[in-house]
Amino acid sequence: MSTLPQYYADAEGKRRFTRRMFDSSAPDYDRVDRLFTFGSGSWYRRHALLRGGLAPGMRMLDVAVGTGLVAHEALPIVGRLGGVTGIDPSAGMMTHSVSPGLALARGRAEALPFATHAFDFLSLGYALRHMADLQTVFREFRRVLKPGGRLLLLEITRPEGRVAAAVLKIYLRGVLPALARVVARSKDTPGLYRYYWDSIEACVPPGRIMATMAAAGFAGVERHVVLGVFSEYRASAA
């Protein structure tokens, strides 16, 4: 678990903190996301899903569905013969993810309330650094995926270069919270985006993430990086 004592003291504190922040900031989330991605987020998520192997007719689980930004891109890909289910611990976020064809459930990644081998594809969008126990999370992901099922984890990774990292830090911890104060309705939204950068800096390194995926029973583990920042971890259930 990444340790950020300025926000929480232990795993339970982390769950309470993130749930409160996301519940409170939910009405602003999509609006600020468009600022963060300069309007390209929808296009990127759709193509990341296709690169990850999502195809028509698949049953997909979107863990940490939030306001449905990833799930909404998946629905037209899987089509009428497939299906998309989203799960999230934040009731506030899920109230903004309602969409025709999207099934929703409340719950945590560490204890998914679904049958074994229930899904063909599982996605986790930008929530890896909020998880307290990656070993348990990845074992659960492996359990609910069918043999050969595909896993796609999207995450923002701290750039390796010092200049690039400094620029991203200024943008995420300074510029974006300032913009959020202008457009947000919740007083917690600017703080959520300051926390974003702090959680990115404290996130488990990519090599350890991939090793933990492999130890949980995933094969063909790989990492695809876009613009030096956006990591796509891909694998299949062995």
d(CA 190, CA 213): 32
In this structure, the dihedral spanned by the alpha carbons of residues 149, 157, 47 and 218, taken in order and rounded to 10 degrees, is: -10
Q: State residue 11's pLDDT score.
A: 83
Q: How many CA atoms lie within 13 A of 112 on its CB side?
A: 27
pLDDT at 39 over 70: no
The pLDDT tens digits for 13-32 are: 888 888 888 898 888 888 77
The pLDDT tens digits for 173-191 are: 888 888 888 877 788 888 8
The domains found in the chain, sorted by start residue, are: 11-157+204-237 (3.40.50.150), 162-195 (no CATH)
The length of the chain, given as a count of residues: 238
d(CA 63, CA 85): 8
d(CA 161, CA 225): 14
d(CA 153, CA 130): 13
Q: Which residues pair with 154 in a beta bridge?
A: 125, 232
Amino acid at 212: T
pLDDT at 161 over 70: yes
Q: State residue 87's pLDDT score.
A: 97
Q: State residue 187's pLDDT score.
A: 83
CB-CB contact of 13 with 1 (8 Å) = no
Position 194 confidence tier, pLDDT thresholds 50, 70, 90: confident
Q: State residue 3's pLDDT score.
A: 65
Q: Which residues pair with 219 in a beta bridge?
A: 236
pTM: 0.92
Q: State residue 221's pLDDT score.
A: 98
pLDDT at 97 over 90: no
Letter string b/e over residues 110-135, b meaning 16 or more CB atoms within 10 A of that residue's CB: bebeeeeebbbbbbbbbbbbbbbebe
pLDDT at 223 over 90: yes
DSSP letter at 186 equals S
CB-CB contact of 150 with 120 (8 Å) = yes
